[in-house]
Amino acid sequence: MVPVRSRIRSHHRPPANAAERGADLRVKLNSNNGRIILLIATFNINNVNRRLENLIAWLRERQPDVVCLQELKSEDRALPIAALEKEGYHGVWRGQKTWNGVAILARGSEPILTRKALPGDPEDKQARYIEAAVNGVLVASIYAPNGNPQPGPKFDYKLAWLARLQRHATSLRRTGAPIVLAGDFNVAPTDLDIYPTKSWDDDALIQPESRAAFRRLVGRSWTDAIRSLHPDQRIYTFWDYKRQRWERDAGLRLDHFLLTRDLAERLIETGVDRDVRGLPGASDHAPAWIRLG
């Protein structure tokens, strides 16, 4: 098998200003054959090797054009690249032993890597962000920190990480490229995004500071794709393994798609493949997806 590093294009230092970054991105986007992608999915797989059978079955049934994966929980050398290529998916990866890990898969094309880490803190070695040009769209796969227990250093890291993401998202948006930020943001943005309960009141996922950070990220320039089409519906993407939360449909919406305005205008459908969560040995997340027209 070809070593993983040879499959991932080297990341170069970004240009100094927004105009140059935009030009650089447009080159990468246009070099990736220019076909607009239609179906984009995000899936916190919670250990890609352990859930590989479920992942492949879902890929065959749903056939997404692009998949953002989180919580790979595997070093690069142990990632199941050959099995996924057999299904027609090529990818860029950033694995990490035991925890974290993110990837972007594309069906029938090669993603062009643009970034393997969230800028703003060179000391941060956690594998939580990867970005690539895929068929004319810039796609980021995001695994934001959980932040528990709070208060404490893990919660401080979560808020600082989300602030870095906001700054980078603004920089990306100013390039004028069509962009999708997809993944597990580890925030349930409103009370509509968590089942009616008091049991999570102390959890970092729903703290006012976490929700405020998510609101600042979305701002007026990004569209929360799922909520934009389902403004009043309780939609969940995560059900904890404890206390029969799957059986009780006691879920949270933690997995999101943020779209630039040009892509938001093309959004025609969103969904969550809930049945995947009910399979034997399932991840505690279900795949979510959007369709562009």
Q: Is 293 helix (H, G, I), strand (E, B) or coil?
A: coil
CB atoms within 10 A of CB 98: 9
76-115 per-position pLDDT tens digit:
999 999 999 999 999 999 999 999 999 999 999 999 999 9
Note the pLDDT of residue 37: 76
- CA distances in angstroms from 118 to 38, 125, 143, listed in the order given: 26, 10, 11
Distance CA 292, CA 268 (A): 6
Q: Which band of pLDDT confidence, cut at 50, 70 and 90, is reported for residue 207?
A: very high
Catalytic residue annotation: 143, 184
What's the mean pLDDT in 46-71?
98
| Whether pLDDT at 4 is above 70 | no
Q: In whole angstroms, what separates CA 63 from the centre of its chain?
A: 17
More confident residue, 37 or 11: 37
What's the mean pLDDT in 124-134?
98
More confident residue, 18 or 257: 257
| Beta pairing, strands 66-70 & 39-44 | parallel
Asked if 237 contacts 252 with a C-beta cutoff of 8 angstroms, the reply is: yes
Q: Mind listing the domains of the chain with CATH numbers?
A: 17-292 (3.60.10.10)
| Whether pLDDT at 131 is above 90 | yes
| Whether pLDDT at 9 is above 90 | no
What's the mean pLDDT in 34-54?
91
142-180 per-position pLDDT tens digit:
999 999 999 999 999 999 999 999 999 999 999 999 999
| Whether pLDDT at 5 is above 60 | no
| Whether pLDDT at 31 is above 80 | no
Computed on alpha carbons and rounded to an integer, the radius of gyration of the chain in Å comes to 18
- CA distances in angstroms from 161 to 57, 217, 225, listed in the order given: 33, 11, 22
| Whether pLDDT at 251 is above 70 | yes
